[in-house]
C-alpha cells in the first residue's frame, strides 16, 4: 500500500528554481484544498486556475498563493468567437491557461494529485524534477541504455555516437503517478483494485519516431519551444469523445518535436494520484476513441511535415490540414477538430504576438 507524503511542517522552498519564469496551470471544478499539501513546493510560484463548469461557483484557493482565475465567462470575453476552440466540462480547458501565460515554462497538475514519497520516504518535489528535466538535453536519435545520460551519476554508455552526445533541447517533461494508474476504462473495469506501487528512479528520452500516451495530470513543458502545439483538442460537452485530450496533444507535439529536433522526456517525477474516476462514466467518454485510436495512431506514425514548416505554428497548421484530409472520413468530428486546431493557433497568435515574445 502506497501513501502520499506528509508535508506538514516542511518549510516553503526559499530558493525556488525559475520562480519568475514558470506558471502552474490547474483546471478545476472544486476548491483547491489540495494545494495545502503542495505549499512547500508550489507556493512561491504564480498559479493560473482555469475553472470549468458553472462560472458562478466560488472556488476557494488557500491563502498565500499568488493566482489568477479564469472561468468560462472570462474565456468567452477574452477570445470572443474563437472561444469555441476551448473545451467545456472537460479538463482540456487547461490549455487556455497555456495560452494566457506569459512565462517560458508551464507545469500543469490535476487537483486530485498529491505529493508522492520516494522509496526513502522523502516528499518528492515534482516541480523541481520537471525543471531539471527541461533544463538538460534530450537524446532522441540514439537510445542510451543507462537511461538519461545527463543525470548525475550517469553517462553515455560504450558505443554511443560521440556526434550525438550534445543532445537537443528538451521541450516536454512527462511525469508519472503512484497509487491510481492512468488506465483506460476497460482496464479499470478488469483491474479495479490495481495500484501502482513501483517507484522507478529513471528518466528517459522517448526516441524519435515513437509515439506515447501523454497524460496531462503531471506535465511540464517549455512554452517557447512547443507551447502553440499544446492544444488539448475539442473534448467534453457537445463532443463525441472525452479523455483523449492530453493524448491528442501528445501525439501532435511528438510529431512536431521529431520534426523540429526537440526532445520529450518521461519518467520522474512521480505524484500520488489520489482517486480513480468512475470507469463506467469513463467508458461512455472513451468508447469511440478506443475504436478511433486504431486509425489515429497510424495516422500520426505516418504524418510527414514539410521542410518549409520551421516554426511550431507552421507545423501545427500543416498537421491540421493532414487531420482534415486523412481523418475526416473516419468521422465528421475530425473535420471540426481540424478547424478548431486552426482557430487555436489564430487565438494563440493574437494573445502572443511575435513582438511580445521578442521573436522574429
**What pLDDT was estimated at residue 360?**
39
Burial per residue of 174-188, b for 16 or more beta-carbon CB atoms within 10 angstroms, e otherwise? bbbbbbbbbbbbeeb
Partners of 138 in the beta sheet?
Answer: 168
Closest CA to 182 of 229, 107, 112: 112
Convert the pLDDT of each residue in 199-248 to its tens digit. Answer: 999 999 999 999 999 999 999 999 999 999 999 999 999 999 999 999 99
- Give pLDDT tens digits for 284-342: 999 999 999 999 999 999 999 999 999 999 999 999 999 999 999 999 999 999 999 99
The mean pLDDT of the chain is 96
Judge contact between 279 and 189, C-beta under 8 A. yes
The upper half-sphere exposure of residue 121, i.e. CA atoms within 13 Å in the direction of its Cβ, equals: 1
Lowest mean pLDDT among 97-106, 160-169, 170-179, 348-357: 348-357
CA–CA separation, 68 and 122 (whole Å): 31
Provide the pLDDT confidence category of residue 60 given band limits of 50, 70 and 90.
Answer: very high
- Residue 54: pLDDT band by 50, 70, 90 thresholds? very high
**Could you give the CA distance from residue 309 to residue 305 in angstroms, rounded to a whole number?**
7
Q: What is the pLDDT of residues 140-198, one digit of tens each?
A: 999 999 999 999 999 999 999 999 999 999 999 999 999 999 999 999 999 999 999 99
**Residue 332: which residues within 8 A CB-CB, separation 6 or more?**
none
The pTM (predicted TM-score) of the whole model is 0.97
CB 169 within 8 A of CB 262: yes
Tens digits of per-residue pLDDT, 235-251? 999 999 999 999 999 99
Amino acid at each position: 500500500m502506497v501513501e502520499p507524503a506528509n508535508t506538514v511542517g516542511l518549510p516553503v522552498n526559499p530558493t525556488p528554481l525559475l520562480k519568475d519564469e514558470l506558471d502552474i496551470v490547474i483546471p478545476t471544478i472544486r476548491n483547491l484544498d489540495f494545494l495545502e499539501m503542495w505549499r512547500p513546493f508550489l507556493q512561491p510560484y504564480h498559479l493560473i486556475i482555469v475553472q470549468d463548469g458553472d462560472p458562478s461557483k466560488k472556488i476557494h484557493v488557500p491563502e498565500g498563493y499568488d493566482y489568477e482565475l479564469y472561468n468560462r465567462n472570462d474565456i468567452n470575453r477574452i477570445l470572443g468567437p474563437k472561444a469555441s476552440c476551448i473545451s467545456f466540462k472537460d479538463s482540456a480547458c487547461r490549455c487556455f491557461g497555456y495560452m494566457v501565460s506569459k512565462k517560458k515554462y508551464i507545469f500543469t497538475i490535476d487537483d486530485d494529485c498529491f505529493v508522492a514519497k520516494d522509496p526513502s520516504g522523502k516528499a518528492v518535489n515534482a516541480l523541481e524534477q520537471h525543471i531539471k528535466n527541461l533544463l538538460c538535453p534530450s537524446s532522441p536519435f540514439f537510445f542510451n541504455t543507462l537511461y538519461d545520460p545527463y543525470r548525475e551519476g550517469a553517462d553515455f554508455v560504450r558505443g554511443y555516437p560521440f556526434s550525438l552526445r550534445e543532445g537537443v533541447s528538451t521541450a516536454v517533461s512527462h511525469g508519472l503517478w503512484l497509487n491510481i494508474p492512468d488506465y483506460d476504462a476497460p482496464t479499470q473495469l478488469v483491474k479495479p483494485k490495481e495500484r501502482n506501487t513501483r517507484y522507478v528512479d529513471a528518466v528517459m528520452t522517448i526516441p524519435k519516431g515513437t509515439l506515447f500516451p501523454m497524460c496531462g495530470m503531471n506535465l511540464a513543458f517549455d512554452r517557447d519551444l512547443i507551447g502553440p502545439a499544446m492544444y488539448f483538442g475539442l473534448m467534453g460537452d457537445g463532443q463525441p469523445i472525452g479523455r483523449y485530450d492530453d493524448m491528442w496533444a501528445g501525439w501532435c507535439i511528438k510529431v512536431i518535436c521529431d520534426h523540429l529536433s526537440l526532445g520529450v522526456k518521461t519518467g520522474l517525477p512521480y505524484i500520488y494520484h489520489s482517486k480513480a474516476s468512475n470507469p463506467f462514466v469513463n467508458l461512455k467518454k472513451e468508447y469511440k476513441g478506443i475504436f478511433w485510436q486504431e486509425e489515429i495512431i497510424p495516422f500520426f506514425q505516418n504524418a510527414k511535415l514539410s521542410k518549409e514548416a520551421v516554426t511550431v505554428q507552421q507545423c501545427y497548421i500543416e498537421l491540421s490540414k493532414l487531420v482534415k484530409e486523412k481523418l475526416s472520413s473516419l468521422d465528421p468530428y475530425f473535420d471540426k477538430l481540424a478547424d478548431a486546431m486552426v482557430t487555436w493557433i489564430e487565438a494563440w497568435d493574437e494573445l502572443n504576438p511575435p513582438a511580445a515574445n521578442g521573436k522574429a
